[in-house]
Amino acid sequence: MNRRHFNNLLGMGTAGLMLPSLPSLGRNVDPAVLLETGLDVAVKKRLADAALNAAKAKGATYTDVRIGRYLNQFVVTREDKVQNIVNTESYGVGVRVIANGCWGFAAVVDAKNETDMARAAEQAVAIAKANAKLLKEPVQLAPQKGYGEVSWKAPIQKNAFEVPIKEKVDLLLGVNASAMKNGANYVNSVLFMVNEQKYFASTDGTYADQDIHRIWPIFNVTCIDKTSGKFETRNALSSPMGMGYEYLQVNPADKVTGITTRYNKGYDMLEDVTAAAQQAKQKLSAKSVEAGKYDLVLDPSHLWLTIHESVGHPLELDRVLGYEANFAGTSFATLDKWQSKNFQYGSKLVNLVADKKQIGSLGAVGYDDEGVATKNWDLVRDGVLVNYQAIRDQAAIIGEKESHGCCYADSWGTVQFQRMPNVSLEAGKTPLSVQDMIKDVKKGIYIVGDGSFSIDQQRYNFQFGGQLYYEIKDGQIAGMLKDVAYQSNTQEFWNSCTAICDERDYRLGGSFFDGKGQPSQSSAVSHGSSTARFNGVNVINTGRKI
């Protein structure tokens, strides 16, 4: 996950509140512009054809064109103040070609006519030819049929951009007021809303027009003990979702009650912030954890990030092959382990699936950014590693006849490459509730919410924190803990999974800003799971004095 974007957007990084300076966001616009429909699909086809033809004329053997309009709205508040309301629009075109067997890419802002399109195409071909001399083997694309003119729209109920800004401001200021009333010293809250309008065309004969929506309401509550000078925070237990404003409509059926309320497809921000203020205060006097081995009970609001880092990333085929060696790293899940057909990634209970179609998820689209219809596939079945995530220029390497359809670029101005689909842990097949799971734990910690996260470049060794930690003693919750982080090794951790709650507890978490690539690109991805138990995990105490 790309922490810099997150901090900046939350207004807490050094560049806090300088939202327009984030290059990927585009220009500021009137909120009314966010409701405009953008270019007509017939115009986009004409423009795309201009680029396809220009590239071919210059010698390209394959070309794809992405015409993108990216809309963002951010409402940023703290306590009783609106700090920033940002509406951005970014429109441009990216053309990718293969010429002399080599990839080339060029992007042009605001391309609105055939001349602009041809210019981008010609530049992409020129770059491909300049670089072809450094090539060892020509790029091989998995065959892909053209789908003709197709479209896909995220099945949202309420376009967030249609909701008046005043309603959003009132919601956030209400959230902040509730936090302050319940004992918070400070509160920041933010609503992010995204709409990607993407048009894809390729020389394979696909013209795909897509409309994608995402939303993320978040807050951060701080409580300070003035005497000791200690402070504690509690972040929202919301998830970023591939949904419209309906995510903020409170529905009792979407609430998961227990030690603290968690949320499924509808988020009660006011209720969560009220609990957060009380819990941040409680954390100040919580018991500092004693380091040692514990059985961990991990809520989906926490486990999604562990899945993301220890399963999602190591099974990216470009990492396995070495294409990300200079930045994100390679992977412990090497081809020989997969080829052995018996590499025990996790215990027999563990089934991990890749998915680009799940409704409400961040990764759902109809077609990926190289024109492949999306699908689902297994990564780990009954604990055994069975597959990776691959795109068109990698499929042949793992003996697949076609791409998995998980190619993505975060903007018209960046080149598409293999990105993580939704990767989720399947729910347990036998009925099991969280209460029943906890009942069996003698010495454990129940963790809710995501916190600090770090993992090595081959995805062996990781360390995770959370938002809320509860001690479990002899099957009972014994009280709140603080200064908790757990460390483990990916294979050891997933093999220590001894129980997974059933589908009644299944929820999505996710990352709005997953970073990968050079120049770095961010993508949004969901990870679903039910609460799961991991035995004998090493817990450290993170308390220090300076």
Partner 1 sequence: MAIILTEAEAKTLLQKVLSYSKADECEANLSGDVSGNIRYARNAVSTSGSRANQNLVVQSAFGKKVGVATIDEFDDASLEKVVRRAEELARLAPENPEHMPVLGPQTYLKSNGSFQSTANLSADARADAVAKSLALMGPQNLTAAGFMEDVHAYRAMMNSKGLFAYYPFTNVNFSLTVRTADGKGSGYVTRGYSDVNKLDTASLTRIAAQKAVASASAVALEPGKYTVILEATAAAVLMEQLFFNMDARSADEGRSFLSKPGGKTKLGEKIVDPRVTIYSDPTNAELPGSPWSGDGQAQERVTWIDKGVVRNMAYSRYWAQKQGKKPVPFPSNVIMAGGTASLEDMIKSTQRGILVTKLWYIREVDPQTLLNTGLTRDGTFYIENGKIKHAVKNFRFNESPVIMLNNLETLGKPERVVSTESDSNYLLPAMKIREFTFSSLSEAV
Span 141-180, contacts to partner 1 by CB under 8 A: 169
Task: State which residue, 170 or 503, has the beta carbon closest to partner 1.
Answer: 170
| Range 297-326, binding partner 1 (CB under 8 A) | 321-326
CB of residue 61 vs partner 1: minimum separation in angstroms? Answer: 17
CB of residue 369 vs partner 1: minimum separation in angstroms? Answer: 13
| Among positions 37, 42, 148, 227, the unique one binding partner 1 when judged by CB under 8 A | 227
Q: Per CB under 8 A, which region of 104-112, 374-382, 494-502, 522-530 contacts partner 1?
A: 104-112
Task: Tell me if 457 contacts partner 1 by CB under 8 A.
Answer: yes
CB of residue 68 vs partner 1: minimum separation in angstroms? Answer: 13
Specify the DSSP class assigned to residue 248.
G
| Cβ count near 153 (within 10 Å) | 11
Task: Tell me if 224 contacts partner 1 by CB under 8 A.
Answer: yes
Task: Tell me if 136 contacts partner 1 by CB under 8 A.
Answer: yes
Site string for partner 1, 6-25 (x = CB under 8 A): -------xxx--x-xx-x--
**CA neighbor of 470 nearest in space, from 298, 337, 307, 270:** 298
Task: Tell me if 540 contacts partner 1 by CB under 8 A.
Answer: yes
Which pairs from 89-92 meet CB under 8 Å and 24+ separation?
Answer: 89/26, 89/27, 89/28, 89/29, 89/33, 89/34, 90/24, 90/25, 90/26, 90/27, 90/411, 90/412, 90/413, 91/26, 91/38, 91/412, 92/68, 92/411, 92/412, 92/413
| Among positions 249, 376, 458, 535, the unique one binding partner 1 when judged by CB under 8 A | 458
SS3 labels along 55-89: HHHCCCCEEEEEEEEEEEEEEEEECCEEEEEEEEE
- Residue 125: what are its φ and ψ, rounded to 5°? -65, -40
- Residue pair 526/363 in contact (Cβ under 8 Å)? The answer is yes
| Range 28-47, binding partner 1 (CB under 8 A) | 28-30
Q: Are strands 206-225 and 148-153 parallel, antiparallel or unpaired?
A: parallel
d(CA 62, CA 262): 48
- Residue pair 263/237 in contact (Cβ under 8 Å)? The answer is yes
Q: Per CB under 8 A, which region of 340-348, 399-407, 439-447, 484-492 contacts partner 1?
A: 484-492
Percentages (nearest 5) of helix, strand, coil residues in the chain = 25, 40, 35
CB of residue 149 vs partner 1: minimum separation in angstroms? Answer: 28
CB of residue 358 vs partner 1: minimum separation in angstroms? Answer: 28
CB of residue 108 vs partner 1: minimum separation in angstroms? Answer: 7
The total number of residues written for the chain in this structure: 546
| Range 363-392, binding partner 1 (CB under 8 A) | none
Using the Cα atoms of residue 332, residue 333, residue 336 and residue 342 in order, give the sign of their dihedral: positive
**CA neighbor of 457 nearest in space, from 346, 345, 332, 344:** 332
CB of residue 487 vs partner 1: minimum separation in angstroms? Answer: 5
CB of residue 227 vs partner 1: minimum separation in angstroms? Answer: 6
Torsion of CA 262, 264, 269, 274, to 10 degrees: -10
- Residue pair 364/356 in contact (Cβ under 8 Å)? The answer is yes
Task: Please count the residues of this chain forming the interface with partner 1, following the rule CB under 8 A.
Answer: 89
Task: Tell me if 538 contacts partner 1 by CB under 8 A.
Answer: yes
Q: Per CB under 8 A, which region of 38-46, 58-66, 383-391, 479-487 contacts partner 1?
A: 479-487
Task: State which residue, 128 or 193, has the beta carbon closest to partner 1.
Answer: 128
CB of residue 364 vs partner 1: minimum separation in angstroms? Answer: 26
Task: Tell me if 83 contacts partner 1 by CB under 8 A.
Answer: yes
Task: Tell me if 336 contacts partner 1 by CB under 8 A.
Answer: no
